[in-house]
Amino acid sequence: MSAVLQIIEILLPILYLGLTGLYARNFFDQEHEKKSARAGLYGLLGAHLGYLTLLGVAQHAWPLGSMAEFLSVLSVSLTITYAITERAEEDSNTGMFFLGIASIFQVFSSVLMEELTTKTHPLLLENPIYGIHVAFTVLGFAALAVGALDAVMYILLSRQLKSRELGLFFRRLPPLIRLETMSRIATITGIVLLGVGLALGHFVAIYILEDYNLWDPKIVIMDAAWALYFVGFLVVKLRGLSGIRMGYLSLAAYLGLMLTMILSNMLTNSFHSFQP
């Protein structure tokens, strides 16, 4: 089992990067047929979900006990979100952006992934209630990532329209208003989901962990980052910033959140050890 998982861990980033390349080729050259990319997308999703299931079965716990596993779940969540969008909109031109970011998450995940035999999992991960907290948190991060990606596309298209140099982004990307709306909805969804996820995390930990410490730096940093995201979004909405400034802020906020999460994870050995 361990060998199979290791092979898939090597293959997944390669497949993600390959599929991103395929979508990029279709973005730049519309002559290519799109069926192979869509088949590849579903194949990759199947392989990734299969891998996470195998990992969960092998370690008898949710595959969310480490930063590597978290990034892998984040990657697959983004890919699922994109697959749903592509099917609903019948438009594969945004695939390059979604799969690009999912590839980055999966590359980091595979690099950071420990061998199954060397892994130790806290008992918390075996608790089924913990899954609800995890689901909200991962979906929250994925939604915020979608919001940031839509913001990136908004910025690219807006700059082309402003400069009147109407190139590929003008021809391929969805209308500006749609990107703005999608970014706003995804960001609101992300803030709500992540907020609920964090609150549930506190709730579950209080009742399950004996040595739960509310002042754990990781908890403080993550709560503060979420609060900043939330307040920042409210202020921006109330002040009525222009679309392009909203785009830059959304992107910066997401990058800040991810950086905060990575830094806070570096403070302790395990993502959920919660030791002071």
Give residues in contact with another protein (CB under 8 A): 157, 161-162, 164, 166, 170, 174-178, 240-245
Structure token pair of residue 6 = 């290791």
Element (H, E) at 110: helix 95-112
Which residue's CB is nearer to another protein, number 240 or number 276? 240
* Tokens (6 digits) for 182: 């999608």
Residues 6+ apart with CB under 8 A from 227: none
Close Cβ partners of 92 (under 8 Å, ≥ 6 residues apart): 23, 26, 34, 37, 38, 86
CB of 151 to another protein, least distance (A): 14
DSSP alpha helix (H) spans, 117-269: 130-163, 168-172, 176-208, 217-239, 243-267
Q: Please say which residue, 60 or 164, places its beta carbon nearer to another protein.
A: 164
- Residue number with CB closer to another protein (35 or 162): 162
**Residue 87 vs 159, nearer CB to another protein:** 159
- What's the min distance (Å) between Cβ of 241 and another protein? 6
Closest separation between CB of residue 255 and another protein, Å?
Answer: 21
Specify the residue, 118 or 242, whose C-beta has the smaller distance to another protein: 242
Instruction: Give the angle 182-183-186 at the CA atoms, nearest 5°.
Output: 80
Query: Hunting for tokens 């950071």 — which residue is that?
Result: 112
CB atoms within 10 A of CB 252: 13
CB of residue 23 to another protein, shortest distance in Å: 21
Nearer to another protein, 87 or 245 (CB): 245
* Between 34 and 178, CB nearer to another protein: 178
Place of tokens 């997401």: 254
CA distances from 49 to 72, 76, 190, 226 (A): 10, 7, 22, 28
Specify burial of residue 53 (Cβ count, 10 A radius: 0-12, 13-18, 19+): exposed
What is the SS3 assignment for 89?
helix
**Residue 174 beta carbon to another protein: minimum distance, rounded to whole angstroms:** 7
Smallest distance from another protein to CB 235, Å: 14
Shortest spacing between CB 243 and another protein, in angstroms? 6
